[in-house]
Structure formats: C-alpha cells, structure tokens
Structure 1
Amino acid sequence: MTELDIRLTRYGSRVATELISATLADLSKRYGGDGDTTPIQPGEFDPPLGGFFVAYVDHAPAGCCGWRTFAEDETTAELKRLYVDPAFRGLGVAQQLLTAVEGAAREAGRERIWLETGTAQPEAIALYQKAGYSLIPDFGHYKGYPSVRSFGREL
C-alpha cells in the first residue's frame, strides 16, 4: 500500500528547492523561457501569511504546492507551484496537495483562493475544475497573456 504524507516545509529548503526546480523545468518545456518569471520571495510562504507543502510517497519527495497572501487583498490566497513528479502522477498526490493548501489558507483566515495556469497545462485545468474552481478575470503576473487561465474558488 502506498503511504502519502504531506508536510509543511520551508520554501527555501533543499527538498522544496529541488521540486521547484523540477516545476520550472516542466513549465519551461511547456511554455519556453524560464518557465515562470512570477516574482516570489521565499518568506511569502511562511505562516501565517502563507505555507509551502511537500508530499512524500513512501518517504520519497513526490510533489509540492504552496500559497501566499495575495498582495492586493489579504482575504485572498494565491496558489503557487503545484507540481507532482511524473513518477508519482496518477496517485492522487495533486488533489491531496490542493486540499492541504486550501485547508491551511482557510485556517489562516483566507476566504478565497486564486491561481494562474495556462493552456499548455490541460491536466492542471482539469484538476482545478474538478475541485470546484471557476474561471475568474486574469489578475497576476501573466495578466493579459493569451495562454493564461486564472481560476478561483471560495474557501
């Protein structure tokens, strides 16, 4: 039986950095360039203003996801860096990470959660829609890009 464990982790930790590098490499293959140039400060993911989580499957790092407080509205969380290593896809890791992030944001008093994704990530779009996210007006770093898709939901 597969054991899944999700842990709150420092954004700048070794394991988080390795998973974030894999995330950016994946995005680079899909979109070109650096993959994602959204400005991020590691401290933005420190509780209580955010949180960063790493999922382990049978003690091996399998994926990551975080949230930070949206700068323009402290009642809104912004989801960032949802990624699952290809070796662990299809096990429900992404859904469990999403649930952990939503719960932490809700517990910290956030009322809604927003995210940016893109048309080159159809599996991400499907995950968010299945989890109850709806399209919202574009809002972030990639606002106005033709391939961006912004989603949100109430917590």
Structure 2
Amino acid sequence: MNWSVRPESFATAEATRLRRAYYAEVAGRYWHRPATEAEVDAGLADDPPDLLVPPTGEFVVGRYGGEAAACGGLMLLPGGPARLPAAELTRVYVSPAARGTGGGGALLAALEAAARRLGARRVVLDTRLDLVEARGLYGKHGYGEIAAYGEPGPYSEIWYGKQLTG
C-alpha cells in the first residue's frame, strides 16, 4: 500500500476525526489518562482553521491504502524566526495503526512542499518531550533542535527547525 497526501479542508469529517484522535492522544498522554469527549471538544475549540488555508497556511490529510490515517497543518509566521520567512507545523498526526509505514515522512514532505509554495524558507515547530515518536520523526527528516521562538509552557518544551531547499 502507498501513502497519498493532499490538501483538504480542516472541517471535513475525516480531517475532524483525525484532529480529534490527535488531541485525544496528546492530551491523554499529558494527563496520564484518557481524555474525555468534552476535553477533546474544549481542546479543539482554539484550533486555527482560518490560518490553515492559502495564503497563510495549509492543512493536509494522508491516506494509506485509501483510508484517512494522518493529518497535519502549517501556518506562516509573521517575520519568522531568524528573520527568514517561516512556517510552523501543527497538528501533525499519524494514527497508531499506520505508524511505521512511511506516513510521517509523506506528511512532512507534503507540508514542506506547501511551505515552499507559500514562500517559507524554514519550517519550525514546538512539541513536548514525552512525544518521543514525533521527536524521532522530526530528527529522522532533518529537523534539529533550535532556540525557543515562542513562550515555553506545558505543551511547548522543545523546538525544532529545518531550512528548506529547492
């Protein structure tokens, strides 16, 4: 089976299902217990859908064997870190059943291509230290640890960046 990753509305049923699964997993891991539906609803209330469409960003859904199994978004940052036009990755998620199949790499490639189309020369992100799978994915695909470009907090413990070429 192969992965296909394409832009998709943040609000489609499949994108919403994936975003809910993302939040349920990261919140549950943070709280060391399953997140309730109400907690997932509250967590997703602040999602930035208006920034995840061109010309300020993009949201993509990845399908593995035709099934929606991954998602991610990017938003252009005003001015960007290091004064380079930058895009920030957000909501990067591969369903547990599809991990280890190349979906994370396919998702990053699509998001980096979108960042280039939108004029970004650098991609940055923040994450938590306990999200070891995500941190491993970023490292494997050329992301290195960078100085914080936002305020540290319980959900922002480590920052990564990658210069885009081509």
One-letter amino acid of the counterpart of residue 26, structure 1: E
Q: 1:111 aligns with which of 112, 117, 121?
A: 121
Q: 1:132 aligns with which of 134, 138, 142?
A: 142
Map of 2:158 onto structure 1: 149
Percent identity of paired positions between Structure 1 and Structure 2: 34
- SS of the residue aligned with 1:61? strand
One-letter amino acid of the counterpart of residue 10, structure 1: S
Tell me whether 19-28 or 63-72 shows the greater mean CA deviation: 63-72
Larger helix proportion of the pair: 2
Root mean square deviation of aligned Cα? 2.2
> Given the two structures, how large is their TM-score scaled by the length of structure 2?
0.83
Does residue 44 (structure 1) correspond to residue 43 (structure 2)? The answer is no
- Seen in structure 2, the aligned counterparts of structure 1 residues 147 and 100 have a Cα distance that, compared at 3 Å, is closer
Contact 2:4 2:63 in 1 (8 A): yes
List alignment gaps of at least 5 residues for structure 1: none
List alignment gaps of at least 5 residues for structure 2: none
Contact 1:138 1:144 in 2 (8 A): no
Deviation of the 1:76 alpha carbon:
0.8
- Seen in structure 2, the aligned counterparts of structure 1 residues 22 and 37 have a Cα distance that, compared at 3 Å, is closer
> Aligned partners of 2:60, 2:91: CA distance in 1, in Å?
10
Aligned length: 153
> Aligned partners of 2:26, 2:44: CA distance in 1, in Å?
10
- Seen in structure 2, the aligned counterparts of structure 1 residues 86 and 69 have a Cα distance that, compared at 3 Å, is same
Does residue 64 (structure 1) correspond to residue 74 (structure 2)? The answer is no
